[in-house]
């Protein structure tokens, strides 16, 4: 059969690669796709944009696609799944109504409050003066979040009242994130370690995955501005075990149940961004799709056929997943200046990996360079590449990843050299 994936980033690249491994998959089409995805055997891009619902539907019908999976959040929030379902097509992802779990932080927080799913205390505001008065009353540290989608950048962890007030001026006053910041959620600052916990979900059917830990801050030591993610690793040995059982019982399954009770049953990848606090796991955010870069370190560990997993979940079967005991590390290379302003068009070469069976480049913001054959690739986005390494231990995976990255100077690009520093 043929599979269609919507999107063009590193998450969609690893999804295409994983689906292509299935013996039942004839071809994986990715729209709009990327030059990096076109390098994968059995995969090709179709230059149709994520917001072209009718164009994507026509593609799925013309190519006789058996299953479509939507990668990024924007088309989910825009109702692409609804459009596909109305056209009689099989698609794995949440409806527009269910995708509000990511599209509106207030929507998600209100459900968590109603169903007593552990999360930070919060209040929501659209009025700048009232928001500022609240911050001045409760003090700092405090977290200011744009209510809508902001590509992982609409969160400010303010250590001082002044930082929080500046964030409010940027979001509500200056519309730094457009209408996504017209409403804000202000919440208590949770302390602990973050954990990414995802599950395949269809209504009340929940199939959890292994965990990962993402690094959101741009620079070493978890400093600098928030990004879409600078690297990740899986498993997270010091946070698995009892914490994982509690997160499953108190967060993921209750949220799936709550969405059903609210009349907006969730189908797709339910992502719980958790903070493991002294009082147990608490939700930082819910997302409606695979995390990026978490997908690039979790999917290489999955031994079960991804197509068969999704088919089973859509049939309401809580299938048992088979995972490799190996660890996986992913390090992102980003354009200099990211997540702020950055230039496109910087040329680079990909160094050879040490072991092509266990190491892979997943492309996010790159394209083929048509002008210089000596430098095949050039940058075309903020997060450009991720090198993913599967190895017997996390220590091995880290050393092998950084060994390859150290082979090039990466002019115009940067990467964090301390991924998984929590383990040291």
For residue range 13-47, what is the model confidence (pLDDT) as tens digits?
999 999 999 999 999 999 999 999 999 999 999 99
Class of domain 127-182 as given by CATH: alpha beta
Decide yes or no: CATH 3.90.600.10 for domain 327-423. yes
Which H/E stretch holds residue 314? helix 306-314
Which residue in 38, 32, 72, 3 sits closest to 363, CA to CA?
Answer: 38
pLDDT attached to residue 153: 72
CATH 3.90.600.10 segments of the chain: 327-423
Model pLDDT, residue 154: 84
| Assigned token pair, 311 | 């088919």
* pLDDT given at position 245: 84
Instruction: Name the phi and psi angles at 49, rounded to 5.
Output: -75, 155
The pLDDT of residue 46: 98
- Local mean pLDDT, 10-residue blocks, the chain (424 residues): 97 98 97 96 97 97 98 96 98 98 94 96 93 93 90 84 93 87 91 93 97 93 90 90 84 97 98 91 94 97 98 96 97 96 93 90 92 78 97 96 94 95 76
* Percent of the chain clearing pLDDT 90 (strictly above): 83
Bridge partner residues of 205 (DSSP) = 202
Q: What angle do CA 400, 404, 406 make, to 5 degrees?
A: 115
Please identify which residue in the block is written with the tokens 């004839």. Answer: 26
Q: Give start-end residues of each CATH 3.30.470.20 domain in the chain.
A: 193-314
CATH topology of domain 2-93: Rossmann fold (3.40.50)
* N-to-C CA span, the chain: 45
- pLDDT at position 236: 93
In CATH, the number for domain 193-314 is 3.30.470.20
CA 99 – CA 93 distance, rounded (Å): 9
pLDDT digits (tens, 9 = 90+) for 341-396: 999 999 999 998 988 889 999 999 999 987 766 668 999 999 999 999 999 999 99
Q: How many CA atoms lie within 13 A of 280 on its CB side?
A: 12
For residue 64, what pLDDT is reported?
A: 98
Distance CA 333, CA 55 (A): 32
Question: What is the per-residue DSSP string for 128-157?
Answer: HHHHHHHHHHH-SSEEEEESS--TT--EEE
């Amino acid at each position: 059969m043929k599979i269609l994936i919507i999107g063009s980033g590193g998450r969609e690249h690893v999804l295409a690669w994983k689906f292509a491994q299935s013996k039942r998959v004839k071809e994986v089409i990715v729209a709009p796709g990327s030059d990096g995805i076109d390098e994968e055997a059995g995969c090709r891009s179709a230059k149709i944009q994520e917001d072209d619902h009718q164009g994507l539907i026509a593609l799925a019908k013309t190519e006789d696609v058996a299953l479509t999976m939507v990668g990024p959040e924007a088309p989910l929030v825009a109702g692409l799944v609804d459009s596909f379902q109305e056209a009689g097509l099989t698609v794995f992802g949440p409806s527009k109504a269910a995708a509000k779990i990511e599209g509106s932080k207030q929507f998600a927080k209100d459900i968590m409050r109603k169903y007593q799913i552990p999360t930070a205390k919060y209040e929501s505001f659209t009025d700048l003066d009232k928001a500022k008065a609240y911050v001045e009353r409760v003090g700092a540290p405090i977290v200011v979040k744009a209510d809508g989608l902001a590509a992982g950048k609409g969160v400010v962890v303010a250590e001082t009242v002044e930082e929080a007030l500046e964030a409010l001026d940027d979001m509500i006053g200056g519309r730094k994130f457009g209408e996504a910041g017209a409403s804000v959620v202000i919440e208590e600052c949770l302390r602990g370690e973050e954990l990414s916990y995802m599950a395949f979900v269809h209504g009340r059917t929940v199939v959890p995955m292994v965990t990962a830990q993402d690094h959101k801050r741009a620079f070493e030591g978890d400093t600098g501005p928030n990004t879409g993610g600078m690297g990740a690793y899986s498993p997270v040995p010091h946070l698995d075990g009892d914490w994982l059982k509690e997160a499953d019982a108190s967060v993921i399954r209750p949220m799936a149940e709550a969405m059903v009770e609210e009349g907006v049953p969730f189908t797709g990848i339910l992502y719980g961004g958790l903070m493991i606090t002294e009082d147990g796991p608490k939700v930082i955010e819910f997302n409606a799709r695979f995390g990026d870069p978490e997908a690039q370190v979790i999917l290489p560990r999955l031994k079960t056929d991804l197509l068969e997993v999704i088919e089973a979940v859509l049939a309401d079967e809580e299938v048992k997943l088979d995972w490799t005991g190996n660890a996986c590390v992913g390090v992102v290379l980003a354009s200099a200046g990211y997540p702020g302003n950055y230039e496109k068009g910087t040329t680079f070469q990909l160094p050879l990996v040490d072991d092509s069976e266990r190491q892979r480049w997943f492309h996010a913001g790159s394209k083929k360079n048509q002008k210089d054959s000596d430098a095949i690739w050039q940058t075309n986005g903020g997060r450009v590449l991720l090198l993913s390494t599967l190895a017997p231990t996390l220590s091995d995976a880290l050393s092998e990843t950084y060994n390859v990255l150290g082979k090039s100077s990466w002019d115009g690009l940067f990467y964090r050299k301390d991924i998984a520093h929590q383990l040291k």
